[in-house]
């Protein structure tokens, strides 16, 4: 019998998917977002409970598990896992607050709120604690953003406060980079691993693969010349298998996911890809994107020729000094003009067309940037649901698609995200990379062999 687990703040199921691959039976998952719940049910199972965890106490879940014969009356869970959303701890959240401070719109840097940003979502980990207290699993796994490591509550470090909430557990904490576990993305996350002091064996963090990290090109090589479609459905053939990137893409093609009817599906033979869609490029961005460069030199990979993209140029590198010189020909060709207006730069058609307010160049220097094809992606974030400007394709003038973002997160190709494009981007950005979850799950499985 497989060890049983529950997944809290489950999102679309990245953590559950990895734990399942490691050998766990996730018998329940709690998630508030409707679209994420639909995605979970479509790809993993119907055990997702659509609930706001702040209004769904652990006793109710325990009664549900008993009523549905998912957990025996005296049976203990092997694992409680989850990633409570804590947006104030993220680097993006902190930089936003910092920018508001500079503008005088959010108190001062000495404001006590800045030790622990005044957002109730930053305290959701307390509900995770409540579930661990109630179920008393042999082990627990909690994932969160790296930025949590440098925050305080009053005079205590957040990390110490969280660890103190589990008096019956030995808690180990470590920052892991998903890129070290076969994920083509530099995504650092802080991981809490806890083992019950009285009846469980020590658990150790996985070491990582120790190999050269996968790159953006390794992740999306077969999609390089496949245009996004309006419904996200495309066909992509990829015979590669003997390179690191080829083996990675083959893994995602062959990885089976389970549909609600119990059938298992992969994309090894069909070439069918879903969610390969992204936003259309507007008139302003058609001009801007061509000047943004990743800093990577051109190369030839088989039949694929990657154009040179040097020197590196971010959004801040093309404003405002280069309006009159560097950008002038392109603006003339596009029948546009530009000038400074208050804090922003505005462009409009000379013939009285649409105006566009530009982002402040100094405050948002990297608002637009390309991915480097020869490096792992930078951290995929939920902000993709609003725009993809920080994730421009390495050489094509568009933002990445949902499927490309999912490849950077290590989701199988047969894993289909539900909801609108905006909802899908949010789900991908919030998810735990399945391959990282698998490595953590295997570490706990190893410990369980000496416990159960």
Environment class of residue 231 by beta-carbon count within 10 Å: exposed (0-12), middle (13-18) or buried (19+)?
Answer: exposed
- Distances 318 to 73, 253, 301, 362 between C-alpha atoms, Å: 65, 40, 30, 11
What does the alpha-carbon distance between residue 100 and residue 167 come to, in Å, rounded to a whole number? 38
Look up 86 and say whether it is catalytic: yes
Token pair listed for 397: 């003038």
- DSSP readout, 318-331? SSSTTTTTTSHHHH
Q: Tell me which DSSP letter residue 359 carries.
A: P
What is the residue-wise DSSP string for 365-403?
TTSS-BPPTTSPBPPP-GGGGT--TTSB-SSSSSBPPHH
Residue ranges of E strands in 239-391? 257-258, 264-265, 272-273, 299-301, 304-306, 336-341, 344-349, 355-357
Cα–Cα distance for residue pair 130/221, rounded to 1 Å: 44
Catalytic position from the list 19, 71, 86, 203: 86
Catalytic residues: 86
């Amino acid at each position: 019998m497989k060890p049983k687990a529950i997944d809290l703040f489950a999102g679309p199921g990245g953590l559950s998917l990895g734990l399942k691959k490691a050998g766990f039976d996730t018998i329940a998952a709690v998630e508030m977002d409707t679209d994420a719940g639909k995605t979970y049910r479509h790809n993993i199972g119907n055990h997702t409970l659509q609930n706001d965890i702040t209004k769904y106490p652990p006793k109710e879940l325990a009664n549900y598990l008993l009523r549905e014969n998912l957990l025996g009356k005296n049976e203990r869970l092997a694992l409680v896992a989850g990633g409570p959303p804590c947006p104030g701890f993220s680097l993006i959240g902190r930089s936003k607050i910092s920018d508001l401070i500079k503008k005088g719109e959010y108190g001062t840097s000495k404001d006590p709120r800045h030790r622990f940003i005044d957002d109730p979502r930053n305290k959701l980990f307390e509900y995770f604690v409540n579930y661990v207290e109630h179920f008393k699993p042999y082990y627990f796994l909690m994932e969160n953003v790296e930025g949590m490591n440098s925050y305080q509550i009053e005079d205590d470090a957040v990390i110490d406060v969280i660890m103190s909430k589990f008096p019956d557990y030995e808690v180990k904490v470590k920052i892991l980079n998903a890129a070290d576990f076969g994920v083509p993305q530099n995504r650092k996350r802080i991981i809490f691993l806890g083992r019950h002091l009285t009846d469980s064996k020590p658990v150790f963090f996985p070491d990582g693969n120790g190999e050269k990290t996968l790159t953006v090109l390794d992740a999306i090589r077969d999609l390089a010349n496949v245009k996004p479609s309006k419904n996200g459905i495309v066909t992509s053939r990829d015979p590669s298998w003997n390179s690191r990137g080829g083996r990675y893409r083959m893994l995602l093609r062959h990885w089976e996911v389970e549909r609600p009817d119990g059938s298992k599906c992969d994309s090894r033979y069909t070439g069918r890809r879903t969610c390969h869609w992204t936003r259309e490029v507007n008139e302003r961005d058609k001009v801007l994107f061509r000047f943004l460069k990743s800093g990577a030199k051109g190369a030839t990979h088989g039949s694929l020729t990657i154009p040179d993209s040097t020197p590196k140029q971010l959004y801040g590198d093309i404003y405002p000094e280069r309006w009159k010189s560097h950008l002038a020909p392109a603006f003339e060709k596009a029948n546009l003009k530009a000038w400074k207006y208050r804090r922003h730069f505005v462009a409009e058609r000379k013939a009285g067309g649409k105006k566009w307010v530009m982002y402040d160049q100094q405050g948002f220097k990297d608002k637009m940037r390309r991915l480097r094809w020869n490096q792992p992606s930078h951290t995929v974030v939920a902000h993709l649901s609003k725009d993809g400007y920080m994730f421009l394709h390495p050489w094509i003038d568009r933002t990445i698609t949902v499927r490309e973002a999912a490849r950077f997160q290590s989701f199988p190709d047969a894993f289909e995200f539900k909801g609108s494009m905006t909802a899908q981007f949010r789900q991908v950005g919030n998810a735990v990379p399945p391959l990282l979850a698998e490595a953590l799950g295997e570490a706990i499985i190893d410990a369980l062999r000496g416990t159960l």
